Amino acid sequence: MPKKKLKTNVSSEENEVDLGVVYKPTEQDIEATRLVYDEYDYMWENVMNQSYPEMNDRTPAQFWDDSQKRANSYVPSRASQGKEEWQANVFTGTTRNKIRAYVSSVSKEPPQMSITATNKKSERSMRRAEVVKHMIRHSYIAYDNPEMNIFFDGWDCAVSGTVIKYDGLIHKTGKQPIVETFDAVTGEVKLKDDEERVLEDCPIEIEIPLNKFFVRNAYIRDVQEQPAVIRVDWITKDDFELEYGKYSKAKFVKSRAQIRKTREQVELFFGDRWFDRMEDMENKIEVIKFFSKAKNKYIIVADGVPLLVAPMLWGRVKKWYPFTKAIFEPFANSNLFWGNSMPNILMPHQHTEKALHNSMLDKT
């Protein structure tokens, strides 16, 4: 039996809505979604988009951008510095050279990990800790390159001041053909039929871009002490289907471009702010993962649709966030969540050298 179609007031075939996949959220869905978007707005407005005296009255995003430009020896235009066209405009590579030398020396010998294991009675077990240490070490060696990782982790930490990692497991299944034969002369390929296969099944460690990880309190240093954190990402439809396609409500998720076609008929109970901030990412899907120890909640929301609403999954009694954090150096107020960067520490020296270098060239 063909599915019914509902036409909107706009006279366009593209604005037909398939009633077979209309999303009707329950009260629990609405409550969970509103919680996530309210927390997102709070963390953005009161934490991520605030300027801090430790960062010379810059927002975290401005601080990271400035640090990365200095590490790249970015040269501002003469006009932005009030210079004449004939004047020298050189940004020396001292900061980058010092970062490279520092990180290279650290990455030669990756630091040894320290593991503490306890039982249900909180008694420490040295033997269990040793077994777990070797299991973790094997997982890194089997699936990754520790030396390369420590170099790039050290580089990102020195440049931006902070590194945040997600540690977990990845298990993906899907249909994928297997190549049986390939003729290099004719280019003929013979494939096996598509079957449901395990595509990936291994431990993973993912570095999270700092602008995609929100915290609720900027002056709580330890990520595990935060009352709530958010990890946000903007992905394509194909990537969404690969990672979340088997979730029961994934079929209801629509991009902003799809929602915009029926904007007048859809009440965005999760807020107009989402619709506005996604203006430049119409064909992408915003996935927000909300973690809260205080509320004991783990919620995944994709463009207003709650894919998962559950208690915190990590830890039986005492809960844990699946994130780790490292900083390059603390600020004078060591309680600030983010760390100071090497380009920012070298800023006065770099400015002095730059001014001297350019003035000498001008005089010459």
**Residue 142 reports pLDDT greater than 70:** no
**Tens digit of each residue's pLDDT (9 = 90 or more) over 172-209:** 777 778 888 888 888 898 888 777 778 778 778 889 99
Parse the chain into domains and list their residue ranges. Answer: 24-56+211-333, 58-161+341-364
| pLDDT for 238 beyond 80 | yes
Predicted pLDDT of residue 6: 37
Distant-in-sequence, close-in-space partners of 268: CB < 8 Å, separation ≥ 6: 259, 274, 275, 304
Query: What is the per-residue burial (b if ≥16 Cβ within 10 Å, else e) of 167-176?
Result: eeeeeeeeee
The set of long-range contacts for 40-44, using a CB threshold of 8 Å and a minimum separation of 24, is 40/214, 40/230, 40/232, 40/288, 40/290, 41/271, 41/273, 42/216, 43/214, 43/215, 43/216, 43/228, 43/230, 44/214
| Integer Cα distance of 152 and 163 in angstroms | 10
Q: Please, which pLDDT band fits residue 267 given cuts at 50, 70 and 90?
A: low
Secondary element (H or E) of residue 276:
helix 272-277
pLDDT band at 261 (very low <50, low <70, confident <90, very high): low
Helix (H, G, I), strand (E, B) or coil at 306: strand
Cβ neighbours for 226, distance < 8 A, ≥ 6 positions apart:
215, 216, 217, 220, 293, 321, 337
C-alpha radius of gyration, the chain, whole number: 26
Q: What is the mean pLDDT of residues 280-306?
A: 92
pLDDT range class, residue 109, cuts 50, 70, 90: confident
Instruction: Report the first-to-last Cα separation within the chain, whole angstroms.
Output: 85
**Residue 240 pLDDT greater than 60, yes or no:** yes
Lowest mean pLDDT among 38-47, 195-204, 219-228: 195-204
Stated length of the chain? 364
| Spatial distance between the Cα atoms of 10 and 15, rounded to a whole number of angstroms | 7
**Whole-number pLDDT of residue 90:** 85
- pTM for this model (two decimals): 0.81
Tokens of 7: 């036409």
Cβ within 8 Å of residue 201, ≥6 positions away: 169, 170, 171, 172
